[in-house]
Structure 1
Amino acid sequence: MACRTAFIIAISAALLAAPSAFTQGTGEPTGVWLTQAGDARVKVSKCGGGICGVVVGLKEPIDPATGKPQVDDKNPNLALKRRPMIGLPLFSGMSPSGPNKWSGQIYNADDGGTYASSVSVTGPDTLKVEGCVGALCGGESWTRVGR
């Protein structure tokens, strides 16, 4: 019994001493990230027990057809079609799902769809963002451009 108690105490101490995913060197997802295509900058921040991602910049913030700021015109919800792209939330329900990894949903402003997603820190300045529709999955790498 004493060995079992000592083992449980040792494991508990190791878990408490381990840095969280938010503070590990390469595991830090917070900051500003440039999408793989270079068309948007997304600010990732702590949000409750997980992370949130919001569009903070666009390569082309003005719609050339209208001369006005870009809006979420691909959204199937008519009430949301006029919301500005700057400030648009992309992640929802992103909670830790493994070391340096979060899972939840991502909104794709290119088609107005929301998809199952995961976000993984794969290096100090690289974020892998994946989305799935059924068994079909795709992803891209984002580059950190600010903290």
Structure 2
Amino acid sequence: MAGSMLALVGAAVMTAAATGAAAGQLTGVWKTSDGGYMEVFNCGQAVCGRISPTLGDLADKQRPDAKNKNPALRNRKIGGLQIMSGFVADQGRWTGGKIYNPRDGNTYTGTLTLQADGNLLVKGCVVAPLCRTQTWSRVTP
């Protein structure tokens, strides 16, 4: 009994460490295909991301989140806004996450896939197959 409990605890620790290591592969600053910059970071056992408050067009960072579906949030600034949440490592991809698009005020389901060339494929879907994919390039680890 004690041996099986120890094996279970060991497996849980190894899984948590592997999830943390996988999430670490994505952390850093990424340049989006439309010229913006995203900061990707660990948030618990998941990966999240925010629009960089300092890199890119600083005037754009001051733009309000005017298309947000919640009127109370429409005056917040785009710079520093967390728009990605809940991405969990799943066999070489990160799935189960959400991506908020301040350009249209909608939130999409998403998938992140790290490519062999080091680029990140970011896919947001209303409902499959109604998806859009961007390729992001790493700026800093």
TM-score, scaled relative to structure 1 = 0.74
CA distance in 2, matches of 1:59, 1:30: 18
The structure with the larger Rg is 1
Q: Does 1:49 align with 2:63?
A: no
| Structure 2 CA distance for partners of 1:131 and 1:84, relative to 1, 3 Å | same
Unmatched runs of 5 consecutive residues or more in structure 2: 1-6
- For each residue in 1:58-114, what CA deviation from the matched residue of structure 2 results, as whole angstroms up to 9, or x when unmatched? 533215xxxx92121111211111111111011122222222423311001110100
Higher helix share: 2
Unmatched runs of 5 consecutive residues or more in structure 1: 1-8
Counterparts of residues 21-100 of structure 1 (less than 5 Å): 22-23=20-21, 28-38=25-35, 40-56=36-52, 57=54, 59-62=56-59, 69-100=62-93
| Structure 2 CA distance for partners of 1:53 and 1:98, relative to 1, 3 Å | same
CA contact (8 A) 1:61 1:70 kept: no
2:18 is matched with which residue: 20, 29, 34? 20
Letter in 1 for 2:57: E
Letter in 2 for 1:48: G
Cα RMSD of the aligned pairs, angstroms, is 2.6
TM-score, scaled relative to structure 2 = 0.77
Q: Does 1:131 align with 2:127?
A: no
Percent pairwise identity = 36
CA distance in 2, matches of 1:50, 1:62: 30
